Amino acid sequence: MKKLAVIGNPISHSLSPSIHGIFAKTLGIDIQYDAIEVETKGFEDRLVSLFLEGYDGLNVTLPLKEQAFALAKKHTETCSATQSANTLWKKDGVLCADSTDGAGLMEDLISKGLNIKGSNIVVLGAGGSSKAILPSLLKAEPREVIILNRTIVKAKNLAEIYNNDKVKVSAGSLIKELPFESDGLINTSSAGLLGQELIHPKNLFNLNSWSYDLSYGEETTKFNELAKKNNISTVHDGLGMLFRQAALSFKIWTDLKPDVEEAMKIFRI
């Protein structure tokens, strides 16, 4: 039996135990998947103890992703690009790390028929969630990506890191007009969740664009509500991304890839 867990703080709200439980059931395997609250202070010692307790793999959530990356000795290419980790395991006694968020997002966009290649994409927010998805987003070869953030310095720092010869990555302000018509909007900001005002450029919403919010819930997210009010008809939340990034972690630990569509149907029952 695989012994797995998600770690972070807070952690009681996590859907990961339910999701991985469904994966295991549909694949006919036996796992134990726990939700464990772990503080940033003393994280290294706690991580060592968890593997000594027999855990085969760990999902890592806020605020531990960057610490997890720093402690791992071996990283995937994507993990190195994001400088954060959401999946940990040991191979031959070596702590390994991956970041499956970006790949999970891209798989979900593809499943929904949302095109990235050659598109003008707006990413709202310049925090850890934005950084986690940008390398995978850029691999899909959009025409241009602009990162918008309240603190423009943070957006400029990300743009400098990820700008390359194939894709122009720039930074913009939430109060200035966009330099192009957007084809797709990806909201990584937590402003809606925190009840903050959703400030945005006047020309953010293009009638032909789609909206994807990394947040999710039983009701339409605040950002997607705003998109609908501005006549954007195609809106999606991040539940599919949550399932798909989880499925990628599950495959790392078990060598089995769950059927995400089947799992999501079961989850909604």
- Please identify every residue annotated as catalytic: 65
Rounded CA separation 12/28 (Å): 26
3-class DSSP assignment, residue 15? coil
The residue type at 155: A
Burial 48-81 (b: 16+ CB within 10 A, else e): eebbeeebbbbbbbbebbbbbbebbeebbebbeb
Cβ–Cβ under 8 Å, residues 123 and 186: yes
Nearest one of 137, 155, 144 to 121, comparing CA atoms: 144
Cβ–Cβ under 8 Å, residues 40 and 67: yes
What is 190-255 written as a DSSP string? -TTTTT------TT---TT-EEEES---SSPPHHHHHHHHTT--EEE-THHHHHHHHHHHHHHHHS
Give, in order, the Cα–Cα distances in Å from 153 to each of 125, 134, 188: 12, 17, 17
